[in-house]
Chain A
Amino acid sequence: MLFNSFQFLVFLPVVFLLYGLLQTKKQQNIFILLSSYFFYGWWDWRFLSLIILSSCIDYWSAKKMQETNAPSARSGFLALSMIGNLGMLGFFKYFNFFSSSLQQALDSINVSYTPLALNIILPVGISFYTFQTMSYTIDVYKKRIQPTKDPIAFFTYVAFFPQLVAGPIERAHRLLPQFEKKRTFDYSTAISGAKLILWGFFKKLVIADNCAVLVNAIFINYPDKGSPELVLGSVFFAFQIYCDFSGYSDIAIGISRLFNISLMKNFDYPYFSKSMGEFWRRWHISLNTWFRDYLYIPLGGSRGTKLFVIRNIFIVFVTSGLWHGANWTFVIWGVLNAIYFLPSLFKKNQSNVEPNIFFSKATNFFRVVFTFSLTCIAWIFFRSATIEDALGYFTGILSLTPSENLSKYFFMLVTIVLFMLLEWKGRKKECPIDYPIKNTFLKYLYYSMFVYIIIFFGATEEQSFIYFQF
Chain B
Amino acid sequence: MEQQKSNHLSTFNFDMKKFLLKSFYFIVILSSILEVTTRLVIDPVYFYSINPYLSPSALTHFKPEDLLIPEPEHIDLLFIGSSRVAASIEEEVFETNTSLKAINTGRGFFTGGTHYLALQEMIEKNPEFLSGTKVFIELPGGVIYPRDSAIAMYDVYEGSTHFLLPHISFKDVRHFWESRNSFKEKKELTLQFFFSSYRTYPFIREYKSRMYNRILSRFKEPVKENLSTDGGIKTESFDLAKETAINVAKRQIENQRKAKSIKIRELDKSIIASFNRLVRNHGGELILFEVPLHSIQKEAYSTPFAKKNKAVFRQWADQNNVKIVSTNDFIVNDKDFPDYWHLNKEKKLEFSRHLLDKL
Query: Chain A residues in contact with chain B, CB under 8 A?
Result: 17, 19-25, 28, 182-187, 190-191, 194, 404-405, 407-408, 410-411, 441, 444-445, 447-448, 451-452, 455-457, 460
Contact: B11 with A444, CB < 8 Å? no
| A407:B19 contact, CB within 8 angstroms | no
Instruction: Decide yes or no whether B240 CB sits under 8 A from chain A.
Output: no
Q: Tell me which residues across on chain B come within 8 A of A447, comparing CB atoms.
A: 26
Set of chain B residues within 8 Å of A191, measured between Cβ atoms:
19
Q: Are A448 and B26 in contact (CB under 8 A)?
A: yes
Q: Which 9 A-B pairs have the closest CB atoms?
A: A20-B12, A187-B15, A185-B16, A407-B219, A448-B30, A444-B29, A20-B11, A407-B216, A407-B221
Cβ contacts under 8 Å, B9 to chain A: 23, 184
Say yes or no: A184-B33 contact (C-beta < 8 A), given A191-B19, A407-B216, A411-B212: no
B residues in contact with A17, CB < 8 Å? 20
> B interface, by DSSP: helix, strand, loop or mixed?
helix
A185 in contact with B19 given A21-B12, A452-B34 (CB within 8 Å): yes
Interface membership of chain B positions 1-28, coded 1 if the CB is closer than 8 angstroms to chain A and 0 otherwise: 0000001111111011011100101100
Chain B, residues 309-320, CB within 8 Å of chain A (1/0): the string is: 000000000000
Which of B201-209, B323-331, B348-356 is the contact stretch? B201-209
The contact of B15 among A185, A194, A455, by CB within 8 Å, is A185
Q: How far is the CA of A444 from the CA of B24 in the complex (A)?
A: 11
Tell me, in angstroms, the Cα distance from A451 to B28 when the chains sit together.
13
Least distance between A190 CB and chain B CB atoms (Å):
5
Contact A23:B10 (CB < 8 A) given known A185-B15, A405-B221? yes
List B133-150 residues whose CB lies under 8 Å from chain A. none
Q: A410-B219, A456-B204 are in contact. Are A185 and B13 (CB under 8 A)?
A: yes
Determine if B11 and A28 form an interchain contact, defined as CB atoms under 8 angstroms apart. Answer: yes
In the complex, what distance in Å separates the CA atom of A252 from the CA atom of B19?
Answer: 19
- Which chain B residues border A451 with CB–CB below 8 Å? 30
Specify which of A190, A408, A441, A460 is in contact with B205 (CB 8 Å cutoff): A460
The interface size bin for chain B is 20 to 34
18 pairs, A vs B, C-beta closer than 8 Å: A17-B20, A20-B10, A20-B11, A21-B10, A22-B10, A23-B7, A182-B7, A185-B11, A187-B15, A190-B16, A407-B219, A410-B219, A411-B212, A444-B25, A444-B29, A452-B34, A455-B201, A456-B205
Instruction: Give Cα distance in the complex from A319 to B143, angstroms.
Output: 64
Q: Which listed residue, B18, B26, B34, B216, touches A444 by the CB 8 Å rule?
A: B26
Question: Residues of A contacting B205 with CB < 8 Å?
Answer: 456, 460
The distance in angstroms between the C-alpha atoms of A447 and B34, with both chains bound, is 13
* Given A185-B11, A410-B219, A190 and B212 contact (CB-CB distance below 8 Å): no
* Pairwise interchain contact B216-A408, C-beta atoms closer than 8 A: yes
A408 to B223, CA, bound (A): 9
- How far apart are A258's CB and chain B's nearest CB, in angstroms? 8
Main SS class of interface, A: helix
Given A190-B16, A405-B221, 8 additional A-B pairs, CB 8 A: A25-B7, A28-B11, A187-B19, A444-B30, A452-B30, A455-B34, A457-B208, A460-B205
Residue from A187, A445, A451 having most chain B Cβ neighbours under 10 A: A187
- Is the CB–CB distance between A186 and B15 below 8 Å? yes
State in angstroms the CA–CA spacing of A17 and B24 once bound together.
Answer: 13
Q: Of B7, B19, B25, B26, which is within 8 A of A190 by CB?
A: B19
A23 and B8 in contact, given A185-B19, A186-B15, A448-B29 (Cβ under 8 angstroms):
yes
Give Cα A17 to B13, complex, Å: 12
Q: What per-residue 1/0 map shows which CB atoms of B290-322 lie under 8 Å from chain A?
A: 000000000000000000000000000000000
B30 partner residues in chain A, CB cutoff 8 A: 444, 448, 451-452
Q: How far is the CB of A416 from chain B (nearest CB, A)?
A: 16
Asked if residues A184 and B13 are in contact (CB atoms below 8 Å), the reply is yes
Q: Are A22 and B11 in contact (CB under 8 A)?
A: yes
Bound-state Cα–Cα, A24 to B201, Å: 44
Chain B, Cβ-Cβ closest to A448: B30
Q: Is the CB of A183 within 8 A of B26?
A: no
Give min CB distance, B221 to chain A, whole Å. 5
Q: How far apart are the CA atoms of A6 and B205 in the complex, in Å?
A: 19
Tell me whether A185 and B26 are in contact (CB under 8 A): no
B contact residues around A186 at 8 Å (CB): 15
Chain B residues lying within 8 Å of A455, measured Cβ to Cβ, are 34, 201
For residue B23, which residues in chain A have a CB less than 8 angstroms away from its CB?
A: 194
Residues of B within 8 A of A185 (CB): 11-13, 15-16, 19
> Which of A184, A186, A447, A460 counts the most B-chain CB atoms under 10 A from its CB?
A184
